Structure 1
Amino acid sequence: MTPASYDALVERLSDGILASRQPVTMVLGSAISAPTSSGAPGVFSAETIVDFIEREYFPGRHDEFREHIKSKANDYIGAFDFLIPRRGQNAANAVVRAAVWNSRLPSQMLESGSSYQPDEHTEDQAFLSFEADWDSWYLTPALSAIGSLASVFPETYGQTVLTTNFDPLIEIAIRRNRGRCFRNVFHRDGNIGQASGEGTNIVHLHGHWWGSDTLNTHIQLTQDRPRLKTSLNSLIRKDVILVCGYGGWDDVLNSALADIVNDDNAYPEILWALHGSDPSMVEDKLKPLVDRGRVTVYAGVDCNNLFPDVLSRLLKLSPRKIVAQSAPPSFVPPLRLQQEYDQRLPQEMEINRNFALLGPNEDDRPPNIDFYVGRQAQLEELVGGDYTVGYVTGIGGQGKSALAAAFFNDCVSTGRFEHCVWRDCKEEAERFEVQIVRITVALSEGELKPADLSHLSIEELFDVFLRYLSMQRILFIFDNVDHYMEMEQEKLSGSPADFLKKIERAGVGSKFLFTCRGNIRETGGSTLNIRLSGLDLESTIKLFSKRQALSTREDIEIAHGVTKGHALWLDLLAAQAAKHPEKPLERLLNAPSGDSAGIPLETLQSIWQDLKERERLVLRTLAECVRPSTEIELASFLQEQMNFNKIGKALYNLRSLNLIVVKSSGGFRDYIELHPIIREFIKRTFSRTERATFIDVIIRYYEQIFSVRVGRGKPKLTIEELQNWIEGIELHISAGKLELAFQLIAEVHRSGLYVLNCREFVRVCATLFSEISWDKYATYPEFDAIASAYSDVLSDLGRIDDARRLLAQYRETIVGKTVRYINYCDMLCYLEWAIGEYKEAIRWGEEGQGLKSKSNIDTTYDAGHNLALAKRDGGEVDAALAYFLKGRSIESALDPEDLDETLHESFYGNVGRCLQLMGQIDTALVCYRKSALLIERHETASSVNNRGYVRQWIGEVFAAKNADVDAAKFLKAALRIWAIISPVRESRLMSLVASRPEIAKNVAELDELYAERYCVAWFFGRETDV
C-alpha cells in the first residue's frame, strides 16, 4: 500500500470538502496538543508521561518499573498498569492533570512564587475557572487552526470532534475564535447523541482531565461500551472521518471501525493522516476498507502544518470573514454604575498650613499656668539648647507640665517652629501610639484618615510619620509618658523608645520633648535631660507673693523646708493662705506621716475639708471624667445638684486654689480636668461604691447626648463618635459595670468599626480584661467574641507577644476541648497567619474545624475563614477557593453580566486572589474589578487595606499579561497607598517592581494622581475618559 501525499490531503480537505459539502468529523489524538519543541508548553507526550510516573511515584524502582513496561505492548499503557494497582485511579487522574497543566503558559507574575498545580483535591469549580481563562493556555498551531475551522466553517468542520485527549484545548481554541461548542465525556458507556448543545460537539472518548476518570490501561480502554460503539458506528458511516495525531488504541473507536470493516453495506470515508511513512498499522486494521477505497492513508503529515494549510486554502477558495479572536473574559460595569464615576474623581489635596496645634482634641492642649515661678533657667535651656530629644522629669507636682507649657507658649509666640504640637499621653498604655496616629493624620493634610493607619505595626506607623514629617521644623511635646518608663534602667521603653531610635537615625529638623515622673539617665549630643527638683526659697517667696498670701517670711521658710520646695504642694499652701488668711499655715504642715506623690495625705485632707460642698461635687465629678470637660458639660452632669451659676462659682474658687487644670481652646470655652495628684487623692479617698453615683451621672450624659448604650450602635460611626463609645466603655469599667462594658464593646465590635481606631480598642480591652476575674468568664456572654477580636487586633498590630500572653490566659479558662476550644484554635490560626507561619496556622485551623466536624456540635465558633486565608497563602489554594465561594458557582463569580452588590467586597477579592495564585489571569481580573468597584462604592472600615491590595493585585495581573503600561498605573497607585499606610508593603512591592525593569521605568515616570485617577476610572469602566 502506497500512502497518498500531504498535498493531496490538503486538497481533499479543502477543494474536495467544498465540492461535496460533506461534514468532516475529526478524530484527534495527542499530537495536536503536544509541545512543538523541547521545553515548550503543551500536554505531556506519552514518553514524558511514562518518565513522570517513574519520577514522581517510583523514584527508587527504576529497574522494576522499566521491566514491567517492557512486558507490555505499549510503554504508556504499561506505565499505568504499574501505577494504578499500587497507587490507585486517583493517582492516574493526577498524572493526567499534571500532563494537561503543562500546557498552561508560564506565569509572568511579579512574584515568581506560585507553583500551584491541581491535584485530586481540586474542586470542579476551579477547573471551570481554569478553562474560562483562555489566555492562560498555550495552543499549538494545529489547535489554533482547528478552532478557526470549527468557527469559520461550522457546516463542515464544526459538527463533531472525537478525541482521545483529556485536555480542554480544542474547546478553548474554538471559544477563542468566537465559536461555540459543548462537551461530551465518556469514561464509561453512553450515547454521543444523548447530550445536546449549541455549536461543535467535542467528544472525549477516554475521559477528561477533571470531572471523570481517565482511561489509560488495557482493561479500561477495551471495556465493553455497546451504546457508545453504536453511536460511533452511526457517525462513521455518514461523515468524512479525518484521523490525525491518533495512535490507533485498542479502544472503542477501533472496535467501531472493526465492525464497519466487516460490513459490506457500510460506505464510510476515512482519511488517515500519519506522521511517519509506514501505513502497516492502518492496513492491518482496516484492510477491507482500504481495498474498497474507503480508507485513504496519507504519510508525512505534521498536524501543526496540516490544519493551518487547510484553513488557508479554504479561505482562498471560499472567502469568509474571519472574526477577530474573542477577547478574554472581562467584566464591564453596567452604565448605571459607570455614571457614578463622575462623582468619584480623586481631587488634588488642598494644602492648609495655617494651624498651630495640628487639630488637637480636648486633652491635647497645654495647661494654663496662672502663677509660674522658679524655672527660668530650665526654660532657657529648652529654648536655647541644641538637641533633638528632650526630657523633663521629676516627681509628681514639681511642675513638669508647667515648664513644658511655658516652652510651648514661647515657641508659639515667637514662631520658632512651623507648628507646635502638644499631646497628653495621660500615663496610660497605647496613648503614645494613638497620638502618633493623630499627628500623622494631621501632617498628611487631609490625605489620611485614622482608619488608614489603624492596622499598622508600630514600626510601619513610625515610618509613615517620618515620611510626612520630612524636614519640617515642628515642636512635639508628649506629656505624661509615665506608662512607658523602665524604672530600674531609668529609660523609656516600648513604642516611644522605638520611636526615638528612628528619630535619631532619620536626622529630622524637629524637636521632641517628653515629660514623665521617673528619672531618665539617657544623655548624648542630641539629647537634653532636665530633672526638676524643689523650688528654691526665693522662688517660693515670689510664689506666695503672686498668690497674695499674707504669710510671713518665717512661715514661708518653714513651709519651704517641710515641703523641700515641692512646687504643687507649695502652690496649694499659698492658695490656702490667700483664701484663708485667718488660719495658720502650720496647720497644713503637720504630721506628714503619709504622702501622695510627695504631698502628705493630711495636707490634701485638710484642703478637702475646707472646701464647700459644691466644690467637692465638682472635683468628684471631674475625677471620674475620662477626658477634660467644659463648664457646660459639668452643668449637665450636676444639674440635679446645683445650677449653672453655682458651678461657675465653684470652678472659680477651685481654680484660685490650684485644684483644677484649665486648658484653653482658643475659643469661648475652656476645658477643665484635675491634676493627676488630685485625681489620685479623690479615687483613693472614696470607694468604688461611693464613686458610682458620679460615674452614673456621666454615663447617663453619654447615653442621652452621644447615644452610647446597648442596642444603639450605628452601622457607621465617625472617628469622633467611636471615641465617645470608647469613653462610655471606660466609664462603665470605672463603675464596675463590667457586663455592660462587655455589651457596649461588643456593639462596637459587631459593627466592625473598631478597626477605625485599633489602638484605642486595644487600650480599652486591656483595661476591661484586667478588671475581670477570668475564672468568671461565663458571667459575660460577650467574653469570647471580644477576646477573639482583641487577639486579632494585637496580631494585626504586630504585638505578637501580647497576643500570645492573652491566648495563654484564655486557654486557662477552657477545660478540655469544649466548643470554646474551637474559638481558641481560630484565634491561634489567625495569629500564625498574620505573621506568615502558614503551616502552623493551618494546623490550628484544621484542629478547630476537625473538632467541630467530629463533634457535630451546633456552635457559632468556627475556624473556617482564617483557615481558608492560611491555606490560600500557604499553597493549598483549592480548598481556599471552595471555602471563599461559599456554595456559589464559579460561573456566577466570573459572569461578565453579573455583579452581586449585596456581597462583601472581600468575596470577589478572595476568589480572585485564589484564581491568581492558581495562575489564572483574566478570570482573576474579572473578580478584582468587581471587588474594586464594591470597595469604591461601599467604603467600609476594612476598605483601607483592600484598596491597596486590589490595586497591587490588578497590577500584578497586567504584568502577567505583559501589559506593562497598565501594570505600572495600578502598581503606582498601590505604592501610593502603601507609602501612606504600610511602608513595609511598599518596600516589598518596590522590590517586585524592580524585578521588571520595563515596568519599573514606567512606574518611576508616572504621576501618582494620574495613576489613581486611571485606576478609579478603570474600576467604573471609564478608563477611556482619562
Structure 2
Amino acid sequence: MEIPQQLIKKIQQNNLVIFAGAGISINAGLPNWNNLIDTILEGLGNKEPKSEKFKAALKDELFTPIEILNKIKHLKSESIEIFYQELSKYNNCEPTTIHKKIGELSNKIITTNYDELLEKELSSFEKIVYTNTYKVAKLSEIDRYIYKIHGDINEPDKCILFPSEYENLYSIDEKSSVFELKKIISDKSVLFIGFSLNDPYIDYIFNYVNNLYSGFTPEHFIITTQKNKEWPNKITPIILDDFSKLSSLLDELIKIKVTQKEEIEEIQQELKNSSKNAIIEFKQSSEFDSPPNNKYWVGRNKELVNISNDNFKIIFITGIGGQGKSALAANYLRNHFDSKKYEFADWRDFKEETNRFQTKLVSIVKRLNENFNILNLENFSNNDLVDTFFNNLGNRKIIFVFDNIDSYIDLETFKPTGSLGYFFEQILYREHNSKFIFTCRPFIREASINFYQISLSGISEDECEELFGFYKIPISKIQLKSLSIRAHKLAKGHPLWLNLIAGQAIRGVETVTNFINSIENKSNFDEDNFSAILSEKILNEVWNSLNDKQKILIRGISETVKPEKEENLKTILDSELNANQFHKSLRVLKNLNLIETLSDGEIELHPLVKEFILTKYPRNERAKFITLFVQYYDKFIYVLKPKLNSNLTINEFQNWTSKIELQINSNDFKSALIALEEVSSAILTSGFSEEYLRVCEMLYKKIDWNDSISKEYPYFHSQFISLTSTQVQMGKFDLCDENLEKYQNLIPGKSSYYLSYCSQKSYKLWYQGLFDDSISIAEEGVFLLDESSLTDNYSLRHNLALALRDSRKKNNLKKALEYFLKNEKIEDILNREKINFDFNGHFYGNIGKCLEYMNLYDDALYCYYLSLKLLFKENDTNSILNMGYASLWISELLLKDKKNIDGLYFLKFAKNNWDKTSPPRAKGLKQTWSNLAFDKASKDSIAKLTNWKIENHCKNYLSKRLLN
C-alpha cells in the first residue's frame, strides 16, 4: 500500500477535505443500500405490486438501488416514511474509531450520509446541511465543519433519495450548496473514504468532479478495495486488500500530519531563538499575503534605519510606481525584523479589487484570536470592526504592513479616507505597542508626532553601478560604469527601469545598447510626466524583444487575480504552452525582471508591467486567457462563466438577468453585483443595452448605496461606471446626473473614487456637446491624479482629450493630438509605406479626428480607414460604438468629396452600429440621412439592404483603399 506523494503534500499543507460515504456507517452497524431498499420495498407491500420482483432483481444484481428507487418514485412520500423509520432504529449506534480518525486527519468533512455518527464523535465540528443556505454560504469561513451534501435524517423529507431530487440538486440552475461544493473541489484535494460501486450516486459524484472546470482541479484520492476499477481522471486510487486495513492507513496519514505540525513548531521555536528571522510567522495555513522577494538590494540604508525607529506608530512609504515601496517594506521585514521586540509581522496587499479593507481586517482579527467566531462580525460597521481589532490586539507587539492602499487616499486632503480613515486615526491616538507600515503612491499630508513618512525617489549613480554589478554582466569594469551612468541618466535612478535595463544587459552589450538607443531616440521626455512616458517606452521595447511563447506566458500571468504558484500556472496554460515552453519562457521573464517572486514561491507581474499588458489588448483578445483562469478557479471577484460570450441570444442572456432580478428581489445584493459583473461586458457587446439597464437600474434603485460604499461591496464601483456610461449612451442624461450627484455625495472625500466621478461626469458632458464644462471637471480630476501619482484607471485623461479635441480650439486640439499620439511621431503614424497595425482602432480614429479639425482631410481619412479596419477585429461594446464614429467620419469626408454612394454606405453602417448601443446617436443619423439632398432611389436602395451587405461593402472599400 503506497501513499501518493501528492496526497502527502496536501496533508502537509493542510489542504485536504474528507468526503465520507456509506461505508463508514455500515461498519458502525447501519444497513447498506441494498438492505435499505429491500426494507422500503417490504414496507410498501400491496402499494407496489412488483415489490417482490424488484427485491429479487436487486438481489440478483439485475437492478441497482438507484434504478429501483426510480421505479418506485410514484410512492415517494410512503418510501421516505419507511426510510425514516428504518434509520431511526439505529439511533443508538455508536461511532467507530474510523469516525474519530477522519476528524483527526481533516477539519473539513463532506458526507453523503444521513446519519449522525460523525456529529456524535466530532462534537466540536459544526454540522451544516445543504438546506441551510445561510450556513452554506459561510462555509469557507468556518474552521471545522461536517457538510451534509445530501441531507440529514432529522429532515427526512429533504433527504436526497430519488434520482429526480439528485438531478434537481445538481441541475444547470446551480444551487448554492453545489456551488460551495464546486469551490471546495476546485481549491482543495478530496480524499474519498467509504465509497463503493453500491453507493447510488457514486458515478454522478465522480463524473461531476471529473467534469468540473474541464479537469482543471487538484488531484483527488479514493481509498478502495476495487483493484480493476477504472476511476475518472484526477482521482487516484489507494488500494487496500480489504477495509480492515483502513484504520491502519488512516493512522499513517494522521502521523504525516502530526509530524508536520511538530516540525512547524520546531521551526517556530528556532526562529524565535535565532537572530535571523523569517519575514512572517511560519504558520500551517497562511491567511495573510506574501511580500515580494528582492532579487538584488542596494541603497535605502537611511530609510531602513528610519523604519526601525520605534518612536513612530505609523510609517508611510510613498513614491511613484516602481520606486520600490513594497520592496523596501519587505526588505525591512526580511533583514531587520527584531523577534525580541515583535511577535510576528503580518503582510496584507490591497492592489487587487478583491483585497478589500473589511475582508482583510476580519482575517487579521481571526489571526489575532483563533477562537474568535468571524460570523459574529457579519453585521459590524467598519468602525465597530476597527474597534474589535484593537480590542483583540491589546498590548501585543506586532508589525502590520498594508501594501498598495492607493484607493483609500483622499486626493484632496491626501490622507487615508473611507474604511481606512478611522483605522488610521485609531492607530495614531490609541494606546498600543504595534507598528503599522503603509505603502502608496500619493504623498501623505500628516504631521502627527506618531507619524513618519518616507518618500522614495531614484537611487544614486553609485548605487546603480552596484546594482548592475550584481547581475554579472559580461563586460569590463569601465564598460559597466559607462553603462550604469547612461542607464541612470535615462531612468533617473528609477529602480524598476534600471532592473529592466540590467535584464537586457545580460543578453549582451549590443542588445542593451540598442535597447537604450531605441528609448532615447523615441521622444523627448517631459519631466512632468516622466514616469508614465518612460514606463510606456521601456516596456514597449521590452515587449518587442520577447518571442511569441514568452508573450503568451506574460499575457496569461497578467490575467491572474491573485499571485499563483508556477505549478498552477503551468497547468492553467498547458493548452497554450507545453511544459518545456513554459519553463523556458518563465526563466527568460524572470531574468528580464518582469516577474516578481513572493516569499511563499508564488509569482506575479509588477503592477506597472501588469497595467501595460492589460491596456495593450482589448477585452476580446484577453478573453482566451481569462477563460483559462476562470476554468481553473472560481473567484468571488472577476467571475466569468465559460459559456458566457457576446454571441448569445437575448433569451440566453436572460438566464443571467432573471437570476440577477431574483437576487435583487431577495435583497442578495452582493450576489447580484457579482452576477452583473459576470454578464455585463458580454451583454453590452451584444447590443442588449436596454436589458442591461433594466436589471442594473433595478439593482441600484434598491441597494443601499451608503452600505455598498462603506462596506465595499464587490463590483459596486465598476458596475456604477458601466451603468452611468450606458445611461449616457442611451440618452438617459437626467437619470445619469441623479446617480452621479448621489455618488459624489456618498463617496469618502476626494479619494480615487472621486476620480471615477470626475471621469463619468466629464464623459456625460462631452457626449452632450458641453465641451467647456467637460474640460473643467476633467481637468480637476487630472490635477488630483497628477498630484497623487496614481494610475489613470478611470479614463480621465482620455475623456479630457475628447473634450479638448471636440472644442476645436487651436490650443486644445494640439493638446488632444499630443495625448492621442501616445508619444508616437505623427509622421510615423501617417507613413503609407509602412502601416503599423500594432495600435487599436480608437488610436487611429482619435488622431484622425484631430487632423480633420486641423483641415488635414486626406490624412484624417487615412486614419479613419485604419481605425475601422482594426475595429472590425475587436469585439466589445466600445468597439461597436467606435465603429459608429469611424464610419460616420469616413462618410462625412466622402460626402464632402462628392463620393456620394460610398458615403451613404458608411453612413448607414454607422447607424446600424448605433441602433442598439447608442439610440441618441442613431436618431441623429436618421435625421442626417433624411436631410441629405440625394436622389431618392439611391437612398431607398441602400436603406433596404441588410446589415451584413452594408458591412461587407464597407469592408471591401477599406481593403481597396489600404492597398492603394
TM-score when scaled to structure 1?
A: 0.39
TM-score when scaled to structure 2?
A: 0.41
Q: Which has the higher contact order (CA 8 A, sep 6+)?
A: 1
